[in-house]
């Protein structure tokens, strides 16, 4: 026992190995997330906004009121025949979430554990096959805490020209897995068109120039591809925003109504990643200059949530999501009072 403890101390002090890699796990919300190098370790900042997002969504009861099939109130006494029939014609979850750059799967799993039972289908995507494998193991490990919500993890590249089509195809395949052939109303599809209602991402956002400032626990142990973006740390955001806009579609009036936002006053300033004026699709929520003060807009039901590296990235990322067609943008700060998320809706 003493020898094992000494080994751990040496790894931590001499090798600067992160404690999470030594212990092999990291708490995240109510979950225990497995960790191993070089897959990115879940951070408290990510946990904080994931909790906030889940609480915000749960307050919009209309999003889930027809979908919670695991609660006692939704389970009625029925004959074995009707039970079997309903099992065959059950519809897939209606609230679909895409988690880009999923890593350990902590965001996807955290949302699944906090949202109503049986209410959502979450797809986590990562370019690293080791991350996909680890995320899958985390799904198995935390299975009992995921509220019967559906989660799958796939290897994929958001910069692939066909990424949107691929992500859409994975979602459609989930719907096609349900046996409804004996219970289809004539002339009517049993499912709404497969589409995502929410896209979240914690992409690489550290600039190359910042790499030398990272602690050895980060720079020497975690995957640089999960940490570093381009020279400015911003290359992922326009692409993710474009893919999100391609994938997001409203399925029902209830969701459209709940997405209406209250816009706060602010100084109008056109901002686009390329420095040009915003496209007409973004005119409704023309950019306000970030002054490290009040939120730019109030987004009631988020459709796109992007983690960022701090205040210095707000203007570019806000401009990128508006350029993609999202009309309203809100900035969420973390407990350290740093801008941590760009939250947007159309």
DSSP per residue, 221-241: TS-HHHHB-SSSS-THHHHHH
- With b for 16 or more beta-carbon neighbours within 10 A and e for fewer, the 107-119 pattern comes to bbbbbbbbbbbbb
How far, in Å, CA of 219 to CA of 212, rounded? 8
The whole-number pLDDT of residue 234 equals 97
State pTM to two decimals. Answer: 0.79
- Give residue 65's pLDDT: 65
* Predicted local distance difference test score (pLDDT) of residue 187: 41
pLDDT value of position 174: 65
Helices 163-176 and 236-247: crossing angle in degrees, nearest 10, is 40
How is domain 43-68+91-180+192-345 classified at the CATH fold level? Rossmann fold (3.40.50)
Per-residue model confidence (pLDDT) at position 91: 54
**pLDDT by 10-residue block (mean), the chain, 346 residues:** 87 94 98 98 98 95 64 45 45 80 99 96 98 99 97 98 94 58 37 77 96 94 94 96 87 40 34 38 40 61 97 96 95 97 95
Determine the pLDDT at residue 247.
95
- Rounded to an integer, what distance in angstroms lies between the CA atom of residue 59 and that of residue 57? 5
Query: By the 8 A CB rule, do 261 and 207 touch?
Result: no
Domain spans of the chain, in order of start: 43-68+91-180+192-345
């Amino acid at each position: 026992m003493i020898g094992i403890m000494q080994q751990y101390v040496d790894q931590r002090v001499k090798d600067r190995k992160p404690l999470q890699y030594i212990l092999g796990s990291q708490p995240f919300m109510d979950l225990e997330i497995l960790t191993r190098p070089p897959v990115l370790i879940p951070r408290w900042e990510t946990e904080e906004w994931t909790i906030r997002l889940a609480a915000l969504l749960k307050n919009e009861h209309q999003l889930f009121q027809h979908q919670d099939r695991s609660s006692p109130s939704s389970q009625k006494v029925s004959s074995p025949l009707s039970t079997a029939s309903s099992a065959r014609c059950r519809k897939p979850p209606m609230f679909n979430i895409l988690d880009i750059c999923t890593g350990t799967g902590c965001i996807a799993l955290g949302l699944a554990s906090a949202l109503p039972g049986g209410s959502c289908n979450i797809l986590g995507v990562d370019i690293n096959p080791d991350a996909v494998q680890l995320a899958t193991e985390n799904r198995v490990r935390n299975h009992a805490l995921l509220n019967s919500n559906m989660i799958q993890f796939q290897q994929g590249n958001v910069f692939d020209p066909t990424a949107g089509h691929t992500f859409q195809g994975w979602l459609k395949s989930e719907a096609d897995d349900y046996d409804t052939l004996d219970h289809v109303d004539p002339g009517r599809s049993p499912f709404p068109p497969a589409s995502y209602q929410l896209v979240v991402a914690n992409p690489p956002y550290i600039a190359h120039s910042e790499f030398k400032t990272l602690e050895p626990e980060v720079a020497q142990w975690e995957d640089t591809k999960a940490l570093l973006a381009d020279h400015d740390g911003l290359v992922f955001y326009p692409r993710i925003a474009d893919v999100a806009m391609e994938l997001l579609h409203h399925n029902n009036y209830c969701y459209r109504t709940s997405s209406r936002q209250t816009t706060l006053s602010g100084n109008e300033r056109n901002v686009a990643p390329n420095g040009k004026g915003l496209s007409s699709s973004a005119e409704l929520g023309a950019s306000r200059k970030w002054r490290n003060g009040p939120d730019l807009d109030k987004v009631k039901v988020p459709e796109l949530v992007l983690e960022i590296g701090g205040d210095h990235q707000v203007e570019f990322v806000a401009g990128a999501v508006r350029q993609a067609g999202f009309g309203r943008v809100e900035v969420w700060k973390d407990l350290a009072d740093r801008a941590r998320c760009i939250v947007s809706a159309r």
